[in-house]
Amino acid sequence: MMQPPIRLTVNGRIHDVTAERQTPLLYVLRNDLGLNGPKYGCGLGECGTCTVLIDGAAARSCVIPVSGCTGRDIVTLEGLGTSDKPDVVQQAFIDEQAAQCGYCLNSMIMTTKALLAINPQPTEQEALAALRYNLCRCGTHVEILRAVMRASSQLAEARD
């Protein structure tokens, strides 16, 4: 028997998808909706490369069943900004050249976005604590931290 479509709100758009209820959200985002910001990394929710925002909070989409996402606001990296007008966090990562291989970029940007939404002016220690469970294989930690602090300061300037 065919299951009814699952309605998702992703990047401000409503999508009706046909998937098994336990299918990881990541698979639906990538395979059904063609969104490539969140990546498949470990498949266990430990590396962070699949991070999305669900109702503003950073969440590991590889371990969240798609059925648990109905009625929730999902934002992927593509939903933050565009190549012509990147989000302030994306621009800070560009300005600080905070990527080498790009493996961790999605997780670092999405986690930073969630952090700055609840703590717009974190200390370096608070930023490091928020990012501690995001695996970076290249060692661009210094640049990533600078990007977080740059985004924080630019948001503060915009508020003033």
pLDDT digits (tens, 9 = 90+) for 19-65: 999 999 999 999 999 999 999 999 999 999 999 999 999 999 999 99
pTM of the prediction?
0.94
Cβ contact 134:108 at 8 Å? yes
Q: Averaged over 93-98, what is the pLDDT?
A: 95
pLDDT score for 160:
75
Q: Averaged over 124-143, what is the pLDDT?
A: 91
Q: Averaged over 101-121, what is the pLDDT?
A: 95
Residue 107 has pLDDT above 90, yes or no: yes
pLDDT score for 3:
80
AA identity, residue 50: C
Q: How confident is the model at residue 1 (pLDDT cuts 50, 70, 90)?
A: low
